[in-house]
Amino acid sequence: MQLVDTVQVELTGDFSDSVKTWQDFLTVVNKLSGVTVISSIKHDFPGGGFSGLVLIAESHAAIHTWTEYNRAWAELVTCGDRRALTEFVEYLSALGLDCQRIAAA
């Protein structure tokens, strides 16, 4: 019995504005089908980059950025509506980011 479904994405783009990137990520997660956001936390690293976690009733979404490489990694884990997995990748792509799906379960 599979309890959760997961999608992980490597992103390429401009992540130099951590406030905008975080707000965009929060918007993406809030738009996903069957997702109930509970809380979120973000940690900025000296010199750029950040890690952020969105706690959802169905599990979590996370993003980690490396501004010096114009790269990021994002993940959605859900025990809810599976449509959210595809939407996650589509919505991130719609932000103008190059998205490479690296895992799905």
Active site residues: 59, 64, 79
Q: At what angle do helices 18-31 and 83-94 cross, to 10 degrees?
A: 150
* Joined tokens for residue 2: 């599979």
Other Cβ atoms within 10 Å of 9 Cβ, number: 22
